[in-house]
Chains A and B, each alone.
Chain A
Amino acid sequence: MKKTLKRSNAPIFWALFGAGGMLSALLGPMLVLITGLAIPLGFLLPADTMSYANMLAFAQNIIGKGFIFAIISLFLWHAAHRIFHSLHDIGIHAGIIAKLICYGGAMVATLITAYALLAVGF
């Protein structure tokens, strides 16, 4: 009895999950420390590190754009995949709706990120 096997499309989301997981594992702690604690509380780095001028210049730079895009987008694709599977783990099998919210959310955020990075100019 050989049933027809359907190829899974999971590799797309798994690859994004892996990339985002590695990036957040390597850089996540320091990013949180810098943007969320060091700058607002004023330790470790100069007070104007994240000034408008500095951040605009960074976001207008092509490498800066790439970095910002990778961080925001891949972090969210990683989280979307993990959250979707965790919902399944705790018994919420909302199927297509859960997929739309998780992966759809990551996709929308990715598009907003791209749009904003274009909006700040070059």
Chain B
Amino acid sequence: MSDNQRVIEIEVLRYNPEKDTEPFKQVFDVPFTDDMSVLQGVQYIKDYLDGSLSFRWSCRMAICGSCGMMINGEPSLSCETFLRDYYPARVRVEALSHFPIEKDLVINMEGFIEKLESIQPYIIPKEERTLAQGEYLQTPEQLASYEQFSSCINCMLCYAACPQFGLNPDFIGPGAMALLHRYNIDSRDGGKGERMELVNSEEGVFNCTAVGYCSEVCPKHVDPANAVNQNKTNSAADYFMRFLTPKGGAK
């Protein structure tokens, strides 16, 4: 080791379902350099200090969405959070909030996946279309209107940020709503009516109290709060207008 080798303390919330009744904190001394991310810090722990430490990661460049965790109480992608920014203070690392912990930093994301599937995340055509009609045409302006919502990397930081999801895990939540909104406002899509039932439901958008922390922590600037809150207006319109239209709005 170089004589200027600095060491930072990383405190990890550990949990082994086979051995522990509840999670506990464990502190590791991790030698680090200025270019090291928190992800590299936990990788050092796994490689050299405690091979049992479990965590998800993949691309290490903030695009796969795997490495989300609570770093000093804030939902963050560990691959783009750097140890140098905390030194000499201790870095506290914990599994993403509001999700059940399977082991160490690995959370149960099954509910999130189900929510993504439930909103029908694909173009529902407005009308029948033959191959001979060719591809959809879309202007740059039409693309621009939904592009930010299509940038979601499913990292779940927004769910870890959302206290309403924490208080009610059935809430559809920011990420799923961003994806829902992405399809609703895509000029090629005609499925808004089909997706309304979820938006209007007791698990829908009105669980949101506009805390706005989801959009604060989103690493891709998707602004899921905007997707949720725009759909409060849509849902309210559907609620009040259903008595006026022949189709009667969504169910």
Contact = CB atoms under 8 A, between A and B. Distances in A.
Direct contact of A and B (CB under 8 A): yes
Nearest to A12: B239
B236 A7 contact: no
Given A85-B209, A89-B163, A11 B201 contact: no
Interface residues of B, number: 17
A10 B228 CA distance: 14
B197 A11 contact: no
A5 B197 contact: yes
Contacts of A12: 239
A10 B206 contact: yes
Interface in A3-20: 5-12, 14-15
Contacts of A6: 201-202
Chain A: interface size category = 10 to 19
Contacts of B203: 5
B167 A11 contact: no
B249 to A, nearest CB: 9
Given A14-B232, A14-B236, A7 B167 contact: no
Interface of B: 163, 167, 197-198, 200-204, 206, 209, 232, 235-236, 239-240, 251
13 contacts: A5-B198, A5-B202, A5-B203, A7-B201, A7-B202, A7-B251, A8-B200, A8-B202, A8-B204, A12-B239, A14-B232, A15-B236, A88-B167
Given A5-B198, A8-B206, 10 more contacts: A6-B201, A8-B200, A8-B204, A10-B206, A11-B206, A11-B236, A14-B206, A15-B236, A89-B163, A89-B209
